[in-house]
Structure 1
Amino acid sequence: MRRFGLRVRVAKKFKVTTNSKHKLPVAANLLNREFSVLAPDKVYVANISYLWTREGRVYLAAVVDLFSRKVVDWFMSSRMTTELPLEALKMAYWSRKPGEGVIHHSDRGSQYASVGYQNQLKEYGMVCSMSWRS
């Protein structure tokens, strides 16, 4: 290995980003795997993932417009709290200012099901939808 300049690279352990084993209410799956949308700002999908950096793991929450399949806005944090996707939602809302009735689809994670997140969706006039599977 030394002769060829090869080094061992240890794989990072997989981190689960969805905690769906909570007692918070979950919304119906309004999207129901219908991914074709006819106009922008009608259906937003949200997700949390993580990235490895030199400083360690960083969590990324993104909001995507399903019509264009492009990220509307995003937010990163070293912690995976409700604040992470909530900040991404706020930034997405203020960058587009969509009308009422936008379907907001996510997984059933505790961050999306939290009272704070659900209150923000209601304030923006968004309709919550959650996947049936976690």
Structure 2
Amino acid sequence: MLSYGSPRVRKELKSRGIKVSLPTVAKIMRENGIKAITVQKFKPPATTGSNHNETISPNLLDQNFNIKTQNTVFVTGITYIPYVFLFLYLCDFKDLYTKKIVGRAVDTHIKTTLVMRAFENAVNNQKPNKGLIIHADRGSQYASKEFREELSSKGFIQSMSRKGNF
């Protein structure tokens, strides 16, 4: 009964045939220093920091995920993996035609370097031609100058989803 609050204690007492009011139970618990143990609700880490001043690219896909050829559109995202006492962050790139992951990276942080490593893996694995569309959310990692310049240097085109959507 250590985690019980006064309503639950009263309910338990009532089930045992003991009649007592809720204020009385609360008073007795307070006088004896008995408090319910509360568990904090889990709040997952944010993986998209879209509140930034970086440039937002147009949404070239506009929900059209029916791609006809390989290495024409890669989509990318970041997710977290709870691990012991920390979170690991996974960034992957997926070819929309083959539906296969073509590049990924894992780290304990969610910085642009995570995205850059996953992107480098995808490019090295697939060797796509110029004109490849890279579609992502509006996260600061994807909107960063470093990532945008890397795409541009390879002749790739950036696409970003509208707010609140992939």
TM-score relative to the length of structure 2: 0.72
Amino acid at match of 1:122: S
| 2:27 paired with 1:27 | no
| 2:109 paired with 1:79 | yes
Aligned-residue sequence identity (percent) comes to 33
Please, which of 90, 98, 104 is the counterpart of residue 134 of structure 2?
A: 104
Higher helix share: 2
Separation in 2, partners of 1:121, 1:31: 17
The Cα of 1:56 is off from its aligned counterpart by 1.8
1:5 corresponding residue in structure 2: none
Tell me, what secondary structure is at the counterpart of 1:23? coil
Amino acid at match of 2:71: D
The Cα of 1:54 is off from its aligned counterpart by 2.2
Tell me, what secondary structure is at the counterpart of 2:43? coil
Higher strand share: 1
Amino acid at match of 1:133: K
Structure with the larger RCO, 1 or 2 (CA within 8 Å, 6+ apart): 1
| 2:123 paired with 1:93 | yes
Q: Deviations over 1:47-102 (max 9, x none)?
A: 00000112520000000000011100100010110001111001100111100001
2:76 corresponding residue in structure 1: 46
Amino acid at match of 1:60: L
- Larger radius of gyration between Structure 1 and Structure 2: 2
Structure 1 unaligned regions, length at least 5: 1-8
Structure 2 unaligned regions, length at least 5: 1-38
| 2:140 paired with 1:126 | no
Separation in 2, partners of 1:67, 1:10: 42
1:15 corresponding residue in structure 2: 45
Amino acid at match of 1:47: G
Alignment: residue pair count: 126
Cα RMSD for the two superposed structures: 1.4
Separation in 2, partners of 1:132, 1:65: 20
Separation in 2, partners of 1:12, 1:58: 16
TM-score relative to the length of structure 1: 0.89
